[in-house]
């Protein structure tokens, strides 16, 4: 489809240059650090969960356009969702990245990834998959800590 790759590149660059939900959250929000030594990406993710809902997520750190834009798009995709829905979003995203470790559930197909679809080309570059999934793996760790 002509133009689609350009559109995706624009979306990724927009999130890289104007990251959404950037910053920190004060305690008692959970904070977890994530590193991707292959590329030098590093993020700190702040997670505020209450009543089983992800109230807020903020991300700080630095790295390549894929890692930082993926983190920005992720925050948009998960804030305001229940923890159960967020775990479904994570499964959907990982499945787009050809990581099937958790297995998809039937209802996952209903979850829209929105801007995150722009990252689907990354699957062709295995080294960059680690960039794209860094913030997601960090989010999983934070969710696990939230209990």
Which residues of the chain form contacts with Zn ion (CB under 5 A)? 39, 41, 64, 67, 131
Helix (H, G, I), strand (E, B) or coil at 126: helix
Complete edge-to-edge strand list for the sheet that includes strand 41-50: 30-36, 41-50, 53-62
* CB of residue 127 to Zn ion, shortest distance in Å: 8
Rounded distance between C-alpha atoms, residue 126 and residue 33, angstroms: 22
Spatial distance between the Cα atoms of 8 and 95, rounded to a whole number of angstroms: 18
Collapsing DSSP to helix, strand or coil, 30 comes out as strand
Nearer Cβ to Zn ion (29/59) = 59
Considering the complex, state which of residue 64 and residue 104 has its C-beta at the smaller distance from Zn ion. Answer: 64
Q: Using an 8 Å Cβ cutoff, are 61 and 19 in contact?
A: no
Q: How far is the CB of 119 from Zn ion (least distance, A)?
A: 12
Considering beta carbons, is residue 64 or 123 the nearer one to Zn ion?
64
Please, what is the minimum distance in Å from the beta carbon of residue 131 to Zn ion?
3
- Please identify, using beta-carbon distances, which residue of 67 and 72 lies nearer to Zn ion: 67
CB 71, min distance to Zn ion, A: 11
């Amino acid at each position: 489809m002509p133009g689609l790759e350009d559109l995706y590149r624009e979306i990724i660059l927009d999130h890289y240059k104007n990251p959404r939900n950037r910053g920190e959250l004060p305690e008692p929000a959970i904070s977890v650090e994530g590193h991707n030594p292959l590329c030098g990406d590093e993020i700190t993710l702040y997670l505020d969960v209450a009543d089983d809902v992800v109230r807020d997520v903020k991300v700080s750190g630095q790295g390549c356009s894929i890692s930082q834009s993926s983190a920005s798009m992720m925050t948009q995709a998960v804030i305001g969702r229940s923890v159960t829905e967020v775990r479904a979003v994570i499964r959907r995203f990982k499945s787009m990245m050809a990581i099937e470790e958790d297995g998809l559930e039937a209802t996952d197909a209903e979850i829209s990834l929105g801007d995150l679809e722009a990252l689907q080309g990354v699957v062709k570059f295995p080294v960059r998959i680690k960039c794209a999934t860094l913030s997601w793996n960090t989010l999983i760790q934070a969710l696990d800590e939230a209990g």
